[in-house]
């Protein structure tokens, strides 16, 4: 949804109601009313040899710390610019096109057991390059790590959790109803780690493999991506020579109500292509496809 689109009756602050979808697609959220009902799990082992070389070159050119996390997010953004249905979400048994591409991450303020944990939310446009991702992500992460104060997400959680349990349950119930109808204030949506396009976790930084993580029934997040550390695989190339290639295992949890399996297969094929041609992400796309109405 572009910023020039006028909001119509039925639209939300964070998304545009899709009215022209086939009846079967619009009926699916009534059969599977929650995301856990509708979660599909998919795993892929992606070769990152070309990506690794490109990122090393960018670090030499001055992009200190640019890594696979930035690349994965930039890849998702580029796929959403070509295949906008991957950026849909379901709330209140209706399917919406998200207003922008919002990435949610949980981070620790330091890599220690005792360090506090919080979430960040970063907004992107479909035209963003890996350099835009690098800048926006680093600005947000540096802001959180440099501050000893709680961010908006933590402040909301602290305020709610001071309530007695019966009242807390009532408040959460009211928030669910408000979210169902799209009545949540923008400030609460912005503070919520459950509203966005994608939640991603880099488990490679912890030296472990990826997990299939559930997606949340509250909020809008339709996609959870987890990836692990790089590993080497020795394979034969097309000439029969032994070569050393690098791979990363990635696991996806997807809300199947947003679009069909064929559409997602096209998205994963596009992802494989980008991983073989990582330089694509250094330029804005020549065309952005808008979702249906």
Neighbours of 172 (CB within 10 A): 12
What is the structure's pLDDT at 115?
64
Q: Which of 244, 189, 173 is nearest to 12 (CA)?
A: 189
What is the structure's pLDDT at 111?
63
What is the enclosing helix (H) or strand (E) of 229?
Answer: strand 223-236
What is the structure's pLDDT at 154?
74
Task: Work out the average pLDDT over 178-201.
Answer: 94
Task: Work out the average pLDDT over 64-92.
Answer: 97
Average pLDDT of the residues of the chain: 92
What is the structure's pLDDT at 2?
47
Q: How confident is the model at residue 117 (pLDDT cuts 50, 70, 90)?
A: confident
Cβ–Cβ under 8 Å, residues 102 and 255 = no
- What does the domain layout of the chain look like in residue ranges? 37-147+192-282
Yes or no: domain 37-147+192-282 corresponds to CATH 3.40.50.2300: no
What is the structure's pLDDT at 1?
44
Task: Work out the average pLDDT over 97-121.
Answer: 82
What is the structure's pLDDT at 189?
93
Give yes or no for residue 35 having a pLDDT over 80: yes
Q: Which of 252, 258, 259, 269 is nearest to 40 (CA)?
A: 252
Task: Work out the average pLDDT over 48-60.
Answer: 97
């Amino acid at each position: 949804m572009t910023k020039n689109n006028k909001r119509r009756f039925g639209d939300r602050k964070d998304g545009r109601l899709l009215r022209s979808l086939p009846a079967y697609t619009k009926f699916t959220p009534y059969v599977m009313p929650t995301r856990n009902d509708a979660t599909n799990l998919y795993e892929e082992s992606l070769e990152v040899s070309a990506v690794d070389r490109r990122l090393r070159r960018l670090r030499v050119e001055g992009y200190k710390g640019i890594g696979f996390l930035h690349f994965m997010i930039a890849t998702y953004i580029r796929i959403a610019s070509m295949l906008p249905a991957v950026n849909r979400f379901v709330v209140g048994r209706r399917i919406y096109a998200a207003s922008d591409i919002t990435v949610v991450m949980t981070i620790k303020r330091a890599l220690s057991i005792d360090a506090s944990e919080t979430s960040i939310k970063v907004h992107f446009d479909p035209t963003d390059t890996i350099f835009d991702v690098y800048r926006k992500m680093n600005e947000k992460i540096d802001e959180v790590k440099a501050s000893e104060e709680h961010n908006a997400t933590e402040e909301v959680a602290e305020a709610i959790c001071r309530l007695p349990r019966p009242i807390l349950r009532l408040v959460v119930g009211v928030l669910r109803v408000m979210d169902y109808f799209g009545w949540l204030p923008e400030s609460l949506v912005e503070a919520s780690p459950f509203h966005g396009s994608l939640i991603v976790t880099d488990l490679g930084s912890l030296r472990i493999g990826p997990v299939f993580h559930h997606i949340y029934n509250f909020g809008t997040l339709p996609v959870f991506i987890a990836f692990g550390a790089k590993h080497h695989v020795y394979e034969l190339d097309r000439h029969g020579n032994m070569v050393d290639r690098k791979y990363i295992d990635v696991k996806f949890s997807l809300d199947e109500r947003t679009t069909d399996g064929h559409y997602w297969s096209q998205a994963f094929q596009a992802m494989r292509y980008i991983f073989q041609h990582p330089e694509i992400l250094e330029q804005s796309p020549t065309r952005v496809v808008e979702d249906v109405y």
